[in-house]
Structure 1
Amino acid sequence: MKKAAITIIQAIGVFSILASALSLLPLENWYVRVFDFPRMQLLALSLLCITLYLWLGSKHRRRDKVLLVGLSLASIYQAINIYPYTALAPVQVKQAKQDNRQENELSIMVSNVLMTNQNYGKLMSLVKQKNPDILLLLETDSVWQNALEPVTQNYPYRVEIPLPNTYGMHLYSQLPLRQKRVKYLLEKEIPSIKTFIKLRSGIWVELHAVHPKPPVPTEAPNSKKRDAEIVLVAYDIADSDYPVVVAGDFNDVAWSRTTALFQEVSKLLDPRVGRGLFSTFNANYPPLRWPLDHVFHSDHFKLVQIERLPYIGSDHFPIYIKLSFAPENEYEQEEPEADEDTHEEAMETIEEGVEAAQEEEE
């Protein structure tokens, strides 16, 4: 019995080590990039294997020592990736002062509704409760658009893109919008939105909404187009003269190299750093959760509140954030910065994504 248990632990341990090593490879294939996602799970597996192996194993044989060293390195690597999204790390976005004027605040709710989900009432109740200035809905079709009319009628400004392919997108705003642009950056059926929001104080804020395809066998064989779309948005933002917010389902985790590229090129901040993971997917399987839905912003803002909202019947939890425009504190928060190597990597990412899109069209 003990021998069988040790064999199982060894097998799980080897998997944890290989999965951690695979994620280090600079390859875009889905079966490599998928291991960017479960870093918390791989850390837990590695630590569990170490604990059980020290308890059950002999620890004197060479293979035992090799396994323990490998598991220790895997644990350290995963912990380094996760650390910024724990309360132990310093925050990237400072907390807004309570005396800030409400006219400078901007609240946003992002929800991937799951197109086949029919629990419309749960989402409508949340919208009524949180009453966000901006409501961004993803995977929405015409059925969802019609079902949500009782709450969306309170949002006079909107961009509605109902699609039957799970990439529909609906943006509702209580604040004025201008220059509402729907873009199809790399694929004709995958929209993104760029617009400008007028805060109650009169300040205009640039807003981007995104939802690229994930690198999974049923959607895309690799992450090239997803990565390129994310980096293209970053370059669109890089030279902006406005305060900026980017929101959506990136189909990428906060700690991936692509998200790091996005932040370095765009110079946007992540309010989760130093506060928690706020894992939004998968809502149906607690052991398999990671942060896929994001809100990034320029250093013009500080954080009032961030919250993962309750279950609505989707495979994603909604996320809610309230920001405060505080330009007098500019440069108080350290922006990510891109060096020459970063720009070279980013341009290569875009070129590979464009080539992949062109090959699919042919």
Structure 2
Amino acid sequence: MDLLLRLLSLFFRGTALMLGVVGTGFALVCLGGVFSDRLDAFSHLSPLWLAMATGAVVTGWIFARGDERKAIVGLGSLGLLACAILMGPELMAAAGSKRLAARPGDLKIIQFNVWHENETPELALRWLLDQDADVVVIVEGGGMAASVTQGLKAYYPFHVTCDGKRYCGTMIFSRKRMLARNGFYPEGHELAGAWATLADPKGAFTVAGIHYVWPIPAGPQQQQGKRLLAAMDRFDRSTTILTGDFNSTPWSFTLKRQDKALGLERRTRALPSWPSGRFSRLANAPAPFLPIDHVYAGKAWKTVSVTRGPALGSDHRPIVVHLRRD
């Protein structure tokens, strides 16, 4: 029995050390994202590094003794500090968010990567129609999700795709009249995105939808960000709304730079939207843990509420945002 207890103690102490080395090591690497896009790619997994550093502190405190405990707990604490630098501002902003009472006339927008391999497109379409949103921005609207976009076209009188009026995976649907619209591809921006200027009693405003590539390998996503800034430059920042699957988390330096450069306020705060459901052929996701779908809006808009929708056969959850312009 004594030998068994020793082996168990050794196992847990070794596990604590491993968690501390890996979690803290990667958390520190992420801080290099200030100057390196390649290092910044690791920052998207900061929740994992945070969990590992926490595990090192807890397990090391329970099972280690003396100098060994100090070393393991200290190592894990360093990882927690690095994660606090990365994630702290976003988590504090989320904690400080206040929900307003809904009013008639509030603008309801849904951002949803419906996924081209959607397993339950009928369920997704029914939910979207039941929401009766003013504007729906769809990403990956082809493949097995084609019936969803066809249903939305029948329901909403106005729509535009990232290739203008032709099929393209990023689409905007609106019940408000589109005064002007186009895709970013026909305009030469090389972006899977679209925009539409919508009529409104309080003045026209522009909604844009975008789909970024994955952050790995580093470089292409950052180039997309630069092209998006150029494409959005013509619109009135105070009233513009931008939504999309940015494939980028708010604790990455890439998204932090974009937040600053856009001149819009990101209204989604630490709201995980991926992964959901069967996000690969081999695995099911227990719950989303990465916030990669975002909604931005200009200063003319107040945030009424921001919520996450249910699992609808996609590897993403939909984002539902209510905005108000007084």
User: Is TM more than 0.5 here?
Assistant: yes
Residue 227 of structure 1 corresponds to which residue in structure 2? 222
Change (3 A) 1:265 1:34: closer
2:275–2:288 contact (8 Å) kept in structure 1: yes
For the residues of structure 2 that align with 1:208 and 1:191, how far apart are their CA atoms? 11
* CA 298–120 in structure 1, closer or farther in 2 if over 3 Å, else same: same
Are 2:154 and 1:139 aligned?
A: no
CA–CA distance in 2 between the matches of 1:17 and 1:142?
Answer: 41
Task: Summarize deviations over 1:141-190 as a string: whole Å, max 9, x none.
Answer: 2653345433431211101358xxxx7112111111132121138885x5
In the alignment, is the contact (CA less than 8 A) between 2:159 and 2:173 conserved in 1?
Answer: yes
CA–CA distance in 1 between the matches of 2:19 and 2:149?
46
Structure 1 counterpart of 2:80, from 68, 75, 78? 75
Q: Which residue of 2 aligns with 1:59?
A: 66
SS at match of 1:73: helix
CA distance in 1, matches of 2:148, 2:59: 51
Contact 1:46 1:72 in 2 (8 A): yes
CA change 1:78–1:4 in 2 (3 A) is same
2:13 maps to which of 6, 26, 31: 6
Partner of 1:346: none
Are 1:119 and 2:120 counterparts?
Answer: yes
Q: SS of 1:114's equivalent?
A: coil
Q: How does 1:317-356 map to 2 (within 5 A)?
A: 317-326=317-326
Q: 1:14: how far off? A: 0.6
Residue pairs, 1:78-89, within 5 angstroms: 78-86=83-91
1:40 to 26, 35, 47: 47
1:79-228 matches, within 5 Å, as 79-86=84-91, 91=96, 95-96=99-100, 102-103=104-105, 105-141=106-142, 144-161=145-162, 168-184=169-185, 188=190, 190-199=191-200, 201-216=201-216, 221-222=217-218, 224-228=219-223
Tell me which of 266, 272, 289 is aligned to 1:270. Answer: 266
SS at match of 1:37: helix
Q: Which residue in the other structure is 1:355 paired with?
A: none
For structure 2, the 5+ residue unaligned runs are: 1-6, 278-284
Residue 113 of structure 1, CA deviation: 1.4
Q: 1:244 to 1:89 in 2, by over 3 A?
A: same
Residue 254 of structure 2 corresponds to: 258
Q: Compared with structure 1, are the counterparts of its residues 287 and 320 closer, same or farther at alpha carbon in structure 2 (3 Å cutoff)?
A: closer
Distance 2:75 2:234 in 1: 44
Q: 1:238·1:265 contact (CA, 8 Å) conserved in 2?
A: no
Residue type at the aligned position of 1:23: C
Instruction: Percent identity, please.
Output: 18
Alpha-carbon distance between aligned partners in 1 of 2:261 and 2:127, rounded to the nearest angstrom:
34
Paired amino acid for 2:117: T
1:272, 1:68 → 2: CA distance? 34
Q: CA-to-partner distance for each residue in 1:248-289, whole Å, 9 max, x for gaps?
A: 00010122212221121222112234xxx2200011323662
Residues 263 and 235 of structure 1, relative CA distance in 2, 3 Å threshold? farther
Name whichever of 204-213 and 74-83 sits farther off.
74-83
Question: CA-to-partner distance for each residue in 1:212-266, whole Å, 9 max, x for gaps?
Answer: 11123xxxx22x2212222432354456435111100001012221222112122
- The answer as to whether partners of 2:139 and 2:169 remain within 8 angstroms in 1 is yes
CA distance in 2, matches of 1:126, 1:270: 25
Letter in 1 for 2:45: P
Q: Which residue of 2 aligns with 1:282?
A: 275
Q: Which is further off, 46-55 or 18-27?
A: 18-27
Structure 1 residue 24 corresponds to structure 2 residue 34: no
Closer/same/farther in 2, CA of residues 181 and 245 from structure 1, 3 Å limit: same
Q: Which amino acid aligns with 2:258?
A: F
Q: Which structure exhibits the higher relative contact order, with contacts defined as CA atoms closer than 8 Å and separated by 6 or more residues? A: 1
3-state SS, counterpart of residue 23 of structure 1: helix
Q: What SS does the aligned partner of 1:168 have?
A: strand
Residue 259 of structure 1 aligns with an amino acid whose one-letter code is: L
Matched, 1:292 2:292: yes
Aligned to 2:4: none
Following superposition, the deviation at residue 96 of structure 1 comes to 4.6
Cα distance, 1:187–1:267 mapped onto 2, change above 3 Å: closer
